[in-house]
Every structure is written in structure tokens, then in C-alpha cells.
Structure 1
Amino acid sequence: MSRSAAPPTRIAADSTSLICQDTDLRGDITIGPGVVVHPKVTILALGGPIVIGAECIVEELVVIVNRGKNTMKIGQGNHFMVASQIESPSIGHFNTFQPRCKASSGVIVTDHCTLSAGTILLPLLLPTTSPEPSLIPEILPPYSVIFGSASDRRIWDGSGESAEQALRGKHVEYLREVIPK
């Protein structure tokens, strides 16, 4: 039995991005301006490429994997906290993935969503007459919040959004100043 060859590694990072040593980056990966990638991060483009938008924060032990053939697009201003695991094929802007949450490949995350600590985002099982499972990913509505031990869902009203975005901007600025030291 032979193993399939690993995809060639091609990393394209903007000059203003900050990628720490001791990261595992494999495959075709594009990292946008102002992105901060902490040590011990794993980003694997096993199938198709991964494109990470501007001003994202990727903290320690985060694993981002694209197993599909299409490009995994991650928008701007996303915050991936410690040990989150991401396989969602598309992620919008200004989302928060709290520690140890998981986003499956069966769900597209839109904008301003929050996956709380330890939650698992799986597609909802809808009643169907077909015996075959759907291959179409679920689209999570904007401002969705996944919370609790049962990974319940609700919609956030957006209050405090501008304060949160300002805080994210300061966070990126602080990390870019402190991490190189």
C-alpha cells in the first residue's frame, strides 16, 4: 500500500503578518495582512488551498484543516482561541472561536458568529425522505451563538459590536508589539 503524496507546501504571507516559529503549516496557504499566528498552530491544506483574511488572530494549539478540494476561505478579523479545531469550508468576518470549540466541515460560518468554549458545531439534522445524507453544507446565520454543553443555538442582537471590533483591533496591535520580544 502506498500513501498518497503530501501536497506541495506553498506559503504566501503578507509582510505585515506575524507567524511565530514552531508552527506546522502544510499545503497551499495564503496569510493576509496583519494576521498573528501563535506558536504550536497547525494549518493543513490537505485538499484545496486555505486563504486567511486580514487581522485574524490564531492562538496556540489551534488546528485549521481543509480536506476538501475547494479553497477554504477565512474572512477578516476572526479570532481562533486556544485549541479550537476548524474544518468549516468557509468562514466569514469577525467570528470568535473560543477555546476547544470545533467547527465541522458540514457547516459554513457566516459573519459575527461565536462558538463558545468546548462547543461542537455540526450541521442540524433535518427530516428528510432521502436515505442519503445531504452533502450540501449548512449555512450558519450571521450573529449566531453556539453555547452550552448541548451546543445550543441562538441569534445575538449585535449589541456592543463596535466595541468588540475596537477591542479586537487593539488586541492585534498589542500582540504584534509583544510577540517579537
Structure 2
Amino acid sequence: MIRFPDSAVVADHISIHGTRAAAAADGAGATAAAAEAGPPVSVGESSVLHPRCKFYVEHGPVVIGSHCIVSELVEITGGGAGGVQIGDYCHIEPKVVITGPCQIGAGTTLRSGCRVGRGAVLGDNCRVNALCVVGDGETVPALTVIFGPDPHQRRQLSGAIADEHVTSGRDVMDKHIDYLKQTLPKYSRMKQAKQTQ
């Protein structure tokens, strides 16, 4: 159902819905196409999936890069052949809704309650602030901050500010992940990598 390395922290109370998930769980009854497509949810090195995040993989996979945090109450729907592709060092905060197919670039932060629509492409190191929407088919260039009630309120980072944003973001993510690796197992059951396919 879900593939992840030993270094990832995956809560036991995540849910995966859809026929791709059922085919992956049923090894004998899985079709050749489902087996070839790989697991419906794939997680990279040192990533963290909080409890109660939901994956709907009926129409496509969800691929999460390394050093990512997917918070509680996040809903990700994989759609189309490519599904949802999330780059390395992404932070997805609570109650975010992502509808695939879409691509989210490395180092991107999706703040609480924001939405990413079908066919959207976010460049590297973007920030979509709370309750903002990236519309269907929209392309957001790298180092863009989306904010405010108007969907066209954007600011593109450049120069020294952009460099600081990229380097400090990765350091902070690594510290946050280390903290979560110590804290989450104390309060929630975790999946073990050797128990999954």
C-alpha cells in the first residue's frame, strides 16, 4: 500500500483510499498494470507523515520526496497517469487539499488550509500562505509567495533574499524532522518499513 524507507516516520493512522490501494494490498489479485505502476503512495528518505492524513489514489499515485513533512488532516488526491509529485524538503501543513495530477517543486511550503488544483505546477521554493488557492492548470514560477484574499497577490523573491530563503529553509526542515522523529512515536503508533510492501 505504501512504500517508505526506514528513515521515514509514517503514522499508523493514515488512510489510503481507492482501487489502486486495494490492488497493492492484495498481492495475488493485483493486475499486471497495478503491479507495474508501483505502490499507490511512495515516501522518500527522512520524510514524516502525521496521523490522519488521507490519500485518494483511485486515478493516480502520490509520490512524496525526501525530507518532507505531511501534516495531519491533509488530503491528497492522485489523478491522471503522473499523479501527485511532491519534491524534496516540502512542508505541507494541516488541512491542505491537493488534487492531482499536479507537481509541487522542492522546498515548497503549503500553509494551513490552502488548496492546489488539478494540473497545477508549483516551482521550487514557493510558499502558498494560509487559505490561498492555486487554481486548476495554474503554473507558479520558482520562489513565488502567494498571499492574501486576492489570488493574484504574489511576490517573487530574488537575490540575497532568495538565497537566504532556500538555505535557511532546509536547515529548519531538518531540525523539525529530527524533532518529529523523536516526538511522534511517543504519542502515536508508527508503521514499520518492514511490514509494508
After TM superposition, the score normalised by the length of structure 1 is 0.82
Gaps in structure 2 of 5+ consecutive residues: 22-39, 187-197
Alignment partner, residue 173 of structure 1: 178
Alignment partner, residue 160 of structure 1: 164
Work out the CA distance in 1 between the residues paired with 2:95 and 2:178.
22
Q: Give the residue type in structure 1 aligned to 2:139.
A: I
SS at match of 1:177: helix
Tell me which protein shows more helix as a share of its residues: 2
Alignment partner, residue 119 of structure 2: 106
After TM superposition, the score normalised by the length of structure 2 is 0.76
Work out the CA distance in 2 between the residues paired with 1:71 and 1:21.
23
Alignment of 1:65-144 (within 5 A): 65-88=77-100, 89-123=102-136, 137-144=137-144
Work out the CA distance in 2 between the residues paired with 1:106 and 1:180.
35
- Give aligned-pair identity as a percent: 28
Structure 1 position 51 matched with structure 2 position 42: no
Deviation at 1:49, TM superposition (A): 1.5
SS at match of 2:185: coil
Q: Deviations over 1:32-72 (max 9, x none)?
A: 11110011101222212111110100111011111223232
- Relative contact order (alpha carbons < 8 A, sep ≥ 6): 1 or 2 greater? 2
Aligned mate of 1:24, from 15, 18, 23: 15
What is the CA RMSD across the aligned residues, in angstroms?
Answer: 1.4
The answer to whether the 8 Å contact 1:46/1:68 transfers is: no
Tell me which protein shows more strand as a share of its residues: 1
Gaps in structure 1 of 5+ consecutive residues: 1-9, 124-136
Q: Deviations over 1:64-97 (max 9, x none)?
A: 1112232321110000001111125111100000
Deviation at 1:159, TM superposition (A): 4.9
Work out the CA distance in 2 between the residues paired with 1:165 and 1:73.
19
Work out the CA distance in 1 between the residues paired with 2:41 and 2:106.
18
